[in-house]
């Protein structure tokens, strides 16, 4: 009546005695959940008395499978007669054929053993048919990976803490980039570089995964216009993840070549912003928490867009892949003659800029920074494989001749700091009018939202754990903004700086 699947013949040789090895198999994974039904074996019993327990269970599982994934069910029927089995004849066959809700196509499985039809009546647990088909069905379950690898408790803990751990890890990676990013300017220690490299590579991935989890949870919790209230506050975390995706002011690129990937970051800004807006749309309730999310989304978008803009500024010309142009001796002679003519008409220019350099005091930090910026704009052409004009070359020679060794090394130190900031940090945008506007808006938005959040009734929407995580995110965002502003303001960049 129930054919044994030939696909599992080899495995059945190991599992011939199903009931004796199920305990051993259960030690590997969690045990299979069982449900017992007390069903009358009398054909004169009322149909409702026969159907109700089993029918109710099947209907309940069917409804659950429509909203979420459920493990297929394994049924074992025994100690009944096939001819007089009302449940088997009507209910079981009706729904287990032609793709019914109890069919194997839906993942369900049946073992049928009629002990009363055997030559010698035996207990169900020792019926050969049940034992044999039981082994077959155990293989079926194992092959389809329907046995739980982790207990239900572990799965529940993972479902609850998955997003919360990702959000906290994302914040931790951002803090490590902020604190250690500026150290890389002065230190070449291996452990610092390893931590920065790990944080730089993992920060974007963790924030992106967390944002996807928020979107997926919000979509699953919404049924039409009705969304579960407990998932609403997780949407409030999405803008903080956008802030994290924007990176830190002290580290926008780990290597100079990373700036060439700014076009790859541009679609990422659009996609992640779209995910955040979609999640925000699903969770919109028109309450104070929904309105507080709006300025945070704007701040997160600005922060994320800043990073792409800075990478584009650092990559405004290709890096050198070959040596600079080397003229022939004859070309050098002609160029020197042209330079003499050119410089004879530029004496006033050199005098005007050169007289500011003579007698430069090493303690005059402002003067050193000013001249370092001017010379950096000249030497920056070498980084970008551009030819330096003759006027600038002689200007550099004139400035170098006017400086003593101590001042020369100080100017070079400041210039190297400028080069590091341009290629690896947000300094080239921070010290501009637009950079000031963006930073002022993002900081005031975070501070404004944090203050209003503290003044509102929060326990109605958040559990104690989520409330603490939200506080940590807000305090972390404020401290990151303050620390970055203080760090960049204390740098060698003069204010304001016009980027070229």
Show me where the domains of the chain are located.
6-143, 152-319+463-489
Residue with the bigger pLDDT between 155 and 252: it is: 252
Q: Cα dist. 356→203, 242, 362, 379, 428 in Å? A: 46, 46, 14, 19, 25
Q: SS3 string of 56-108?
A: HHHHHHHHHHHHCCCCCCEEEECCCCCCCCHHHHHHHHHHHCCCCCCCHHHCC
Least confident among 23-37, 158-172, 246-260:
23-37
Here the contacts of 366-375 (C-beta below 8 Å, separation 24 or greater) are: 366/494, 368/407, 368/410, 368/411, 368/414, 369/414, 369/492, 369/493, 369/494, 370/494, 371/399, 371/411, 372/411, 372/414, 372/415, 372/418, 372/492, 373/418, 373/493, 373/494, 373/497, 375/399, 375/411, 375/415
Rounded mean pLDDT of the chain? 69
Cα 50 to the chain's mean position, in Å?
52
DSSP string, 6-67: GGGHHHHTTSSSHHHHHHHHHTTSPPPP---------TTS-HHHHHHHHHHHHHHHHHHHHH
Site of tokens 């104690």: 464
Residue with the bigger pLDDT between 442 and 90: it is: 442
Spatial CA neighbour of 481 closest among 433, 432, 448:
448
Inter-residue contact 391 to 342 (CB < 8 Å): yes
Inter-residue contact 72 to 106 (CB < 8 Å): yes
Site of tokens 């529940």: 156
The pair of structure tokens assigned to 379 is 């030497």
Spatial CA neighbour of 244 closest among 314, 315, 299:
299
Inter-residue contact 423 to 251 (CB < 8 Å): no
Site of tokens 């290709």: 318
Least confident among 120-124, 176-180, 353-357:
120-124
- Asked if pLDDT for residue 240 goes beyond 90, the answer is yes
Inter-residue contact 453 to 470 (CB < 8 Å): yes
User: Does this model's pTM top 0.85?
Assistant: no
Inter-residue contact 80 to 117 (CB < 8 Å): no
- Asked if pLDDT for residue 102 goes beyond 50, the answer is yes
Site of tokens 């919790």: 221
pLDDT of residue 189: 81
The CATH fold of domain 152-319+463-489: Methane Monooxygenase Hydroxylase; Chain G, domain 1 (1.20.58)
Neighbours of 101 (CB within 10 A): 14
For 294-351, what is each residue's pLDDT tens digit?
999 999 999 888 888 888 888 764 444 444 455 667 666 666 666 665 555 555 555 5
Strand partners, 226: 223
- Asked if pLDDT for residue 210 goes beyond 80, the answer is yes
CA distance 178 to 172: 10
CA distance 413 to 399: 16
Inter-residue contact 251 to 227 (CB < 8 Å): no
What is the pLDDT confidence band of residue 473, given thresholds at 50, 70 and 90? Answer: very high
Least confident among 255-259, 461-465, 475-479:
461-465
What is the pLDDT confidence band of residue 490, given thresholds at 50, 70 and 90? Answer: confident
Residue with the bigger pLDDT between 185 and 32: it is: 185
Phi-psi region of 132 (alpha: psi -120 to 50; beta: other; left: phi over 0): alpha
Inter-residue contact 218 to 235 (CB < 8 Å): yes
End-to-end Cα spacing for the chain:
84
Q: For residue 109, give the DSSP letter.
A: E
Q: Cα dist. 487→197, 415, 457, 482, 492 in Å? A: 21, 18, 35, 9, 10
Inter-residue contact 350 to 395 (CB < 8 Å): yes
Strand partners, 75: 110
CA distance 180 to 35: 57
Q: What percent of the chain has pLDDT over 70?
A: 47
Work out the average pLDDT over 432-461: 83
pLDDT of residue 191: 86
Site of tokens 């604190």: 179
Least confident among 52-61, 127-136, 247-256, 385-394:
127-136
Inter-residue contact 399 to 391 (CB < 8 Å): no
What is the bridge-based pairing of β-strands 109-112 and 222-223? unpaired
Kindly tell me the sign of the dihedral angle through the C-alpha atoms of 303, 305, 307, 310. Answer: negative
Work out the average pLDDT over 198-220: 87
In this structure, what are the phi and psi dihedrals at residue 251, rounded to the nearest 5 degrees?
Answer: -145, 105
CA distance 135 to 11: 9
Angle at 453 between CA 448 and CA 455, to 5 degrees: 100
């Amino acid at each position: 009546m129930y054919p044994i699947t030939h696909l599992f013949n080899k495995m059945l040789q190991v599992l011939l005695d199903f009931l004796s090895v199920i305990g051993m198999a259960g030690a590997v994974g969690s045990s299979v959940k069982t449900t017992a039904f007390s069903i009358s074996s009398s054909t004169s019993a009322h149909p409702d008395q026969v159907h109700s327990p089993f029918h109710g269970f099947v209907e309940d599982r069917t409804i659950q499978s429509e909203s979420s994934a459920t493990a297929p069910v394994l049924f074992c029927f025994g100690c009944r007669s096939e001819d007089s089995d009302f449940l088997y004849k009507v209910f079981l066959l009706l729904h287990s054929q032609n793709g019914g809700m109890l069919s194997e196509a839906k993942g369900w499985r049946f073992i049928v053993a009629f002990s009363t039809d055997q030559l010698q009546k035996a207990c169900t647990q020792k019926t050969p048919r049940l034992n044999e088909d039981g082994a077959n069905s155990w293989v079926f379950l194992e092959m389809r990976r329907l046995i739980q690898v982790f207990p239900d408790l572990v799965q529940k803990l993972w479902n609850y803490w998955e997003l919360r751990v990702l959000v906290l890890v994302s914040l931790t990676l951002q803090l490590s980039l902020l604190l250690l990013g500026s150290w890389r300017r002065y230190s070449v220690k291996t452990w610092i570089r390893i931590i920065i490299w790990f944080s730089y590579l993992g920060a974007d991935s963790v924030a992106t995964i967390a944002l996807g989890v928020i979107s997926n949870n919000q979509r699953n919790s919404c049924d039409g216009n009705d969304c579960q209230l407990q998932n609403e506050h997780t949407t409030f975390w999405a803008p903080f993840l956008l802030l994290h995706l924007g990176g830190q002011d002290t580290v926008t690129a780990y290597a100079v070549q990373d700036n060439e990937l700014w076009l790859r970051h541009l679609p990422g800004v659009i996609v992640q912003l779209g995910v955040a807006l979609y999640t925000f749309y699903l969770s919109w309730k028109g309450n104070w928490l929904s309105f507080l999310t709006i300025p945070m989304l704007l701040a997160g978008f600005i922060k994320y867009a800043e990073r792409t803009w800075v990478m584009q500024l650092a990559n405004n010309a290709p890096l050198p892949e070959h040596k600079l142009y080397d003229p022939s001796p004859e070309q050098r002679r002609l160029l020197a003659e042209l330079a003499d003519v050119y410089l004879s008409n530029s004496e006033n220019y050199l005098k005007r800029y050169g007289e500011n350099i003579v007698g430069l005091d090493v303690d005059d930090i402002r003067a050193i920074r000013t001249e370092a910026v001017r010379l950096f704009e000249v030497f920056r052409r070498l980084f970008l494989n551009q030819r330096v004009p003759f006027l600038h070359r002689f200007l550099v020679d004139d400035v170098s001749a006017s400086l003593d060794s101590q001042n020369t090394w100080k100017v070079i130190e400041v210039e190297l700091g400028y080069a590091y900031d341009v290629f690896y940090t947000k300094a080239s945008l921070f010290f501009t009018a637009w950079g000031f506007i963006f930073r002022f808006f993002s900081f005031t938005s975070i501070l404004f939202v944090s203050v209003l959040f503290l003044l509102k009734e929060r326990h109605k929407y958040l559990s104690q754990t989520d409330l603490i995580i939200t506080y940590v995110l807000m305090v972390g965002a404020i401290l990151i903004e303050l620390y970055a502003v203080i760090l960049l303001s204390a740098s060698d960049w003069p204010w304001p700086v016009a980027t070229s």
